Every structure is written in structure tokens, then in C-alpha cells.
Structure 1
């Protein structure tokens, strides 16, 4: 997006809203680590604090149906929602604008935990995204709203289940849980960790969020931490999208701190934090107890920080309003990659490379004999069906090339007809490293049929993801890894105003000698 347009987006209201992308997931992780070693008494004390609500309250459809991988494991998708609600005195004091009665989704972070628990993708959805919104019934108020076109974060006005419906409709991604957090308890949590270390690549003073830091590393606690994640005028190009640089950096640092500091496993020290966190937490009904939350935390904690990838949904300016955005064409590739449970983390092994995928399949038979397989080429690459037919014959399959013509197909598939062929299709999927989500019934096939799509143009086993596919999915998505500790780029544009004069946050820092630094 152009530098001229972005800095003006929401320039009036941004300083009044909490930027809770980081603290929402941060709340969950702190809470779960705190309670994991706390025993039954701690569970009992904190359970009563947690509020819950229906996962999906759209008037049509559902939150999606999760697909298992080839070993029967399921990915987990959690919609983390940060709300700008001023429903309590504490939230009012922290967020300002106490006369506001609405409750928008100020931040939306869709967290995908892979079925094999080896990687996480956390995708930010800009709050000012314009899209078609679903109709919803709010179970808390009884209020209903019809289908409409609008800003995606307004769906929270009709309950978190409506926000889930809006994100699912936009992305097509199945959502298993939501976690909603407001302002309360955030300061106590950042203090309990001993602070979070961040870095900025230049002096910065955002006169809207009041963040003021010198160039270099800083350990932030309390309100300084809040200022950092609220800052949008200070980072990148000063826009809402540039703000995600700071948020992703802060959350990455918080996750590293949580994993590295043993004090977080001491429930005595963290009980006060967990108590405040649970009071600020609303979850779906399947996560309404501490044991359920701890189990979910365990799934998060299985993933190393270098396998956690932060991204932002690709957008372009809204043709009707340059201060709003709409999904870019590239966003669909990112959505599809998450739906297919394909890792966006850089793999240290050759498992996701085309070199590995060119190896011959190793049979792991689950049926008593090998069977007939028809192979169709819908990849757009000549010779693919013949190549795979030869490979399957080598492994003992009764394979034949299907010479019928047809349109190219984006995604590969294994077609089967009836329960008898299901076991055969599952065996073939295992031998070819294909996820079971690519199995589909087809009453017209006489034998198990392998359809080779455009996602499989090389090799004889199905690739998890190639470098080119990863780069395509992450194009313009501001991707970063949780194990990186680089410095956040400070805006060099005139994105702030000091003493009535428009200037860069770097210049504002130089002039505001009477304003103490945030970590002073």
C-alpha cells in the first residue's frame, strides 16, 4: 500500500484503541503455564473466573469441519480476538474513550497449529478489512443482524461467535476455538514475566500511543509494554499494517521469555496474574475450564519458536475508500496453505524440498494385497501420470495411466468408490505422503484413482510444500519467525504531530526532551 495513503488510516481513533493482538495470545500462554503446575486447588479457584460463549452464531453455515491428516491427527485453529471494550473501570482507564459503548474486534489473529504439532502459523487480519459479513444472532443480547458489506471488526458487536463466522466466511479456514481478551490484567502479566525485551532500529516517539524509546534494546513492563503494542504511527510506514511489525516482534519476544524463564512454572508467583487474566478472558464453550485451556497450551508448547511463523493477510486499498483495505488476490494462496495444513516455517531438513519429494515411495501396506490404481494427469506438466504409474508399479501396485482428457486441477486427490476402496485409498495416501484430507468419494470411478494436480509437478511423493510455494503464500505477508529478535523498523515518514507540527517519530524524539522515555 502506498506511503501517502496508509498513515492517515484511522488517525483519529487509533490512539484510543488497545492493540491486543499480542496480549491476547500472551494472556493464554501465561495463564496456561501458570496453571499447568498448580494442581487441583488452582484449577478450582480460577475456573469460576472464565466466561464462555458459543463458538459460532452465524445464521447460516458453521465454523467449518476440521480434516484429519494421514495419521488421523487434527490441526487446531484458534481465533484470538482483542477487544476495545470499555466495559469495566480498569479497561476504561487503560483504553480511554470511556463513553464508547461498542465492542469491536480491534485485533484478529488466526493461530493454526499443525496436525503433527511441528509448526504454527499466526495470521493477522487487518481490522479495517472490508468484506461481505454474515448474518448473526447474538445469544447474549438476543439482537440479530443480517448479511451486509462492512468492516470485519464490527462483527464483534454481535458477539464473538459472529466474529468467528465473519473470519470463517472470509478465509474458508475451519475455526475450532476462540479466545477473547480485553484490557484488564495485561500490565500485571508483562510485569510477572520480568518484562519483555524488544528492539527498535532508531529513536522513536509516537505522540499518539506515547511510546518513547531510544534506538536499541529495551525491557518493557506495564504501561510501556502497552504503548509498544498500541503503536502504529511509530513503526513501518505508520499505518495499521505497519503496526503489525511491533506486535509480532513483541509476541515473539514474549513467547521466548515464557519458554526460557522457569519462574513462570511457579504457580505461587503467578497466581495473581492468572487470576487477573482469567477475569479478562472469554472463550468458546469447549474451552470453558482450566483443564481444557491447559491442554490447549500443551499443544502450543510442543512447537519450537523457530517453527512459529507470523504473517499478515495480504491486502490492497479499498477502491471505494483509500483508508480501508480489501483482501488481495494473494491472500487466497495463504488461506489455502493454512487449510491444507502445510507449514510456512523454513524447514531445517530436506523434508519439504523437491529433492526429498523426488524419492520413491516406501510402501507401508495397510491392506493384505496391492491393488489397482488409475493415475490421471491434471497437473499441466506432460508425463506426470506416466512417471507416477512407473513408480507405483515398482512398489507392487497394479497401476495404469488414465489417458482421459480434462481440465487442470489445482489440488491433487485420491478418489475412491465405497467403503471397500476406502482402506485402499488410505494405504495409497500413506505410501505417497498425501494427507487424508485429499481423499474424496467418487461413485464414477471403478478403481482407486490418483489425480495429480498442479500442486504436485515434481517427484513421486506428495510434497509438503516447496520453497517456491512457501514464498508465493507469504508474498507481501510481512512474515517473521518467533525465534528472531531483530529490531522493529521505525517510521521515517511524517506520521506523528508534535506541538502542532507534522514530523517523523525520529524527529519528535529529538525535540521532546522534556518527555521521559517509556522505560525510564
Structure 2
């Protein structure tokens, strides 16, 4: 293994690969994969405390969570190998229709934040769309902004290269790289949602297939006849029982090749997966699947091969998880996006409003008696150098003229402050003032003082911007194109006290009255809910979905 790993190395996120087959195969297995595996891990761990499930010290929290609460991240990887990096059985590759061990990577194609309140009340499960375009707190492999699913693979790749440069390429180095990926993925979700994550469960995509083989058949329901030749989906409208292979197709479907009018998206697939989980829990509650020793033995084997849990996740935590994930006590949510877009490389991404997402999450997690409580505090585990969640540009413009003074001007930001994600954060916030988004980059070394350069003809706008964000050093730069401004953030940049453009609302979350109310995940007719909708699904019964 050399220091410079090729872009198709298994650790690298798969946005760098453009083969049609791989893009289609990366559908992964979504909510069904991780929650079923989590449930299996619960039963297994309570039944056999040291059953051989791999433990990881990727995150070790120094601060205790709120007493009695459980805050867990479940990650489903698109890897085509087991947790030790070994190839899967040939039959598994054939059933998954997704290549062999050389395919896939370490994208966290499934990300869910599971919150269990104190006392074992109903669990809140929040699905994060995998292509949400967010800041990455550690800038792994030099990528400070990417799809949230890519945090794991980028960090694992960076750690692998560092260890390889030191001559470490053994199994221990492999696991150390995986731990780096887990830690970065947890930190990225914490930063995005504004929550603290105390534990995690990680599974590979084959876990879903193997568990479905244990508990098949499963009852599901779809609203319309639907066919997808890529995933193998072929379902009739109404309620039906499906086997394990059909279950894989059910949760992977992302399009309809016979009826393009159905307009499937990744968010529809998340809701399809939630419906599968709801149906599965209904079956588990009505049958004796998890009380059968032979069945438990098979689940133990699956978990040993394809499950990783953090080292601090204890029996009491798992007991709380098991009781709170009992069928109808669960509530599933899929976070909305602002719109579909592209990144600087032309890859499709979900454009998100981070402030709105955090406010939504805080509202979903607030106990009924304290629904007006302040938004959840920033995670205690975020790096000390992470970009502040409030910047001078977050203040609401006081007039229409102020709101649009940057129209026609593009602003790029170079981050020399050492604060992770600061450049992208400032560009995003300056959009409120009409500025076009330029490039976000990181300086080769930290600089003390902030500065601003502008193209000829942009002096007036540049001066207003410099005043807004508190920069004294500005000058004209003939190398910039018309309407361009470039800001360099130094370590002295003051995020909290701009000399103008502030208001008493700076840095605050959106008012609760402006937050979207959840819509039914099974609503919207044949077209389903819009990607901009926050959707909710109860955990019981057999939901009928798009």
C-alpha cells in the first residue's frame, strides 16, 4: 500500500467513480438495514453479552448524556465486505445484485439518529438523506464540504494513508482507519443536527439480506404497480408477502422503469425502508421469531460478521432501546431538503438549510412539557476549532436594500483560521445578502489577520461587506474577474461582533411557528410527499407507501 492511494481505493467515497453500474448499486439498504440489525444486536447482546460482536472505541464521550437518555447513531455502509474487510459469500453477492468485494466503499449510505427519552418512552428515529451537502468538521482528505455520507470514507482514507506512510498496513491499521471514519461520521452528524451522539451501531449492507433470510416472509404494501429493472423490484398494488431477495429490491428501489411519472427520489426510498421496518416489527411482535433459540443463533452469526457497536454501549442502554423500539411506540421522521442541486464537481447533492434542520430536530426532540425550550445545544464532542454555528451574516437583514446589496457579486472564502468548515459557512450565510457562492478553500497555513480583495468596480459592495463582517484590510485586486470578491478568514476573525448588519436575532434558530409540521410519510397520493416535506411514520402496522 503506497501513501497516495488510488481514488478507487475501498476507503474512498464513491462520488469519485462514475461507472453507471456502481452508481445504481449504491442504493444501499436504508432504514431497514440498520434498525433490523440494531434490534438483532439488542436481543443478541442481552442474551449473550460476549457474543463476539466487534466493539469500537472510535468515540469515547467524556461528558455524560442527560440521565436516562439514549442518543445513538446508526450507520449502514455500502461496503461489499464484512467488518474485518473479508469478502462475502458468493451467494450474497448474487442476491444483492451489487458487484463483488471490489465494488462499494465506505459511504454511510444510511444515517439515522435515534433518540430514546428517559424512562423508555417512544423512540424518535430521524433519517438523514445521504446526499445532504454539509460541512465536515475534520476536513478529511482536504474535503471541508461534501455529502454527509462521505465523511466516513474520507476520514478512513486519510488515516489509512497516514498509517501507510509509517509502514503500517496490517489488520490493526485497517481497523484504526475504520475507527477514524466512524469518529468523523459521528462528528459530522452531531454538527449538522446540533445534537450529541453517545453511541453508534454500524452494519454492512449484507446484514439486511441475511436477517431478512432469517425472518422471511415479510408483509409490505405499495400504492401502485411498480417495476424497477435496476433493483429487481416488481410489485403489484396492495398488500403482499415478500421473501428476502424481494425485500432487498423493495428497500433499494429508487425509480420506476415502467412508469417514470412516479418520480422516485432517495427520500422516497427512505420512506419505503421505514415502511419495511414498521412491517417487520409488526411481525416480530405477533410471532415468536426472537424467542426461538435457532433463530437467535442465526442472528448472532449475522451480527458477529456484520455489526460493530461502540465500546461504551451497555446492557442498560440496549434494554432501553429494545423497549422503546417496540412497534407503534417508534416514530420515524425523514428530514426535508431545500432543493436538489450540484456541487463544484457537478455531482448531484441535496441543498439543505442547516439552521432550519437544527431547529426541526430540536423541536422533534423537545419533551411535550418543554416544547418552547431553546434549541439543542451544540455537541460537546465537536472539535474546539469547529466553525461557530452563528456568524455575523446570520443576522436577519433589516431592509430589502440591505438584503440584496450583494446581488451580482460572487464571494469566495479562504479559510486560514483553523476553524473547520468556516469558509463554506460564511459563503452560505452571505447568500442571505444576495451574494453568489464562489469557492470555499483552505489556506496552506493559518493566518492571523483577515483580509478582503475585490475586483475593479466592486469597491462599494466590498466596503459594505467588509463593514458587515468586521474586516479592516481590503484592497483592489486586478487578477479577479468582474464582480468577484475574495475573503480570507484569519484566526482573529470575530464571528460574534460585526460592527454593522447585526440584530438581536443573530445566531438564533428559526422561530418555532415557522417550522414545518410533519406530513404523513404515506400521503401525497401516487407521487408521494415532496422532498421539501418533513415526513412522519408511526412504527406499527403495515404502512402502504409509494
Return the TM-score normalized by structure 1.
0.58
Q: Distance in 1 between matches of 2:135 and 2:203?
A: 25
Unaligned runs of 5+ in 1: 1-8, 57-61, 137-143, 344-350, 355-453, 458-465, 490-520
Moved more, 162-171 or 477-486: 477-486
Q: Deviations along 1:434-460, whole A, 9 cap, x unmatched?
A: xxxxxxxxxxxxxxxxxxxx99x9xxx
Deviation at 1:183, TM superposition (A): 2.6
Instruction: Tell me the distance in 1 between the aligned counterparts of 2:370 and 2:193.
Output: 25
Q: Is the 8 A contact 2:133 2:351 kept in 1?
A: yes
2:221 to 190, 196, 199: 199
The aligned counterpart of 2:151 is 155
The answer to whether the aligner puts 1:243 opposite 2:263 as a matched pair is: no
What's the offset of the Cα at 1:174?
0.5
Which deviations, in whole Å up to 9, do the C-alpha atoms of 1:221-280 show, x marking residues without a partner?
211111111112149631111111211100111122222222312223320222122210
Q: Offset of 1:10 from its aligned partner?
A: 11
1:220 to 220, 223, 242: 242
Per the alignment, residue 480 of structure 1 pairs with: 537
Please tell me whether residue 28 in structure 1 is matched to residue 28 in structure 2. no
Asked whether 1:117 is paired with 2:120, we answer yes
Offset at residue 198 of structure 1 (A)? 0.6
- Helix, strand or coil for the counterpart of 2:230? coil
Residues in 1 aligned to 2:205 and 2:198: alpha-carbon distance in whole angstroms: 24
Q: Which runs of structure 2 are paired with 1:165-184 in the superposition (5 Å)?
A: 165-184=187-206
**SS of residue in 2 equivalent to 1:110:** strand
* SS of structure 2 residue aligned to 1:160: helix
Partners of 2:62 and 2:340 lie apart in 1 by: 28
Quote how far apart the aligned CAs of 1:85 are.
0.6
Query: 1:469 Cα shift?
Result: 8.9
Gaps of 5+ in 2: 1-17, 82-86, 157-180, 373-507, 520-531
Distance 1:233 1:148 in 2: 31
Q: Aligned pair in 2 of structure 1 residues 64, 485: CA closer, same or farther (>3 Å)?
A: farther
2:266 aligned counterpart, secondary structure = coil
Change (3 A) 1:34 1:147: closer
Q: Does 1:89 align with 2:88?
A: yes
186, 207, 219: which one pairs with 1:164?
Answer: 186
> Structure 1 residue 16: deviation in Å?
0.9
- Tell me the distance in 2 between the aligned counterparts of 1:249 and 1:113: 20
DSSP-derived class of the 2:351 partner = strand
Which residue of the partner structure matches residue 279 of structure 1? 305
Alpha-carbon separation, structure 2, partners of 1:276 and 1:306 = 26
Corresponding residue number in structure 1 for 2:350: 325
Write the distance in 1 (CA, Å) between the matches of 2:306 and 2:220: 25
C-alpha distance 294-273 of structure 1, shift in aligned 2 (>3 A): farther
Distance 1:63 1:171 in 2: 18
CA contact (8 A) 1:21 1:80 kept: no
CA distance in 1, matches of 2:351, 2:514: 23
Matched, 1:53 2:56: yes
The Cα of 1:110 is off from its aligned counterpart by: 1.0
Could you report, residue by residue, the CA deviation over 1:96-135 in whole angstroms, capped at 9, with x for unpaired residues?
2333363111111111111232121111111111111021
TM-score by length of 2: 0.55
Which of 323, 327, 332 is the equivalent residue of 1:301?
323
- Distance in 2 (CA, whole Å) between partners of 1:469 and 1:278 is 46
Q: CA deviation at 1:203?
A: 1.1
CA distance in 1, matches of 2:226, 2:328: 28
Give the counterpart of 2:137 among 134, 139, 143.
134
With over 3 angstroms needed to count, the CA separation of the structure-2 counterparts of 1:167 and 1:95, relative to structure 1, is farther
Distance 1:167 1:114, change over 3 A: same
Asked whether the 8 Å contact 2:212–2:243 carries over to 1, the reply is yes
C-alpha distance 198-294 of structure 1, shift in aligned 2 (>3 A): farther
Cα distance change, pair 266–237 in 1 and its aligned pair in 2 (3 A): same
For 1:210 and 1:297, how far apart are their aligned partners in 2? 37
Residue number in structure 1 paired with 2:25: 16
Alpha carbons of structure 1 residues 107 and 333: separation in structure 2 relative to 1, 3 Å: same
CA contact (8 A) 1:231 1:243 kept: yes
Maintained 8 Å contact 1:19/1:107: yes
Q: Is the Cα contact below 8 Å between 1:63 and 1:164 reproduced in 2?
A: no
Separation of aligned partners in 2, 1:118 and 1:173? 19
Residue 338 of structure 2 contacts residue 351 of structure 2 at CA under 8 Å; is this kept in 1? yes
Residues in 2 aligned to 1:250 and 1:336: alpha-carbon distance in whole angstroms: 27
Is residue 64–residue 175 contact of structure 1 (8 Å, CA) maintained in 2?
A: no
The equivalent residue for 1:79 is 73
Q: 1: CA distance between counterparts of 2:514 and 2:44? A: 39
The secondary structure found in structure 2 opposite 1:167 is helix
For 1:471 and 1:330, the matched residues in 2 are separated by: 9
C-alpha change, 1:256 and 1:241, in structure 2 (3 Å) is: same
Q: CA RMSD in A?
A: 3.4
Within 2, Cα distance between the matches of 1:126 and 1:219? 27
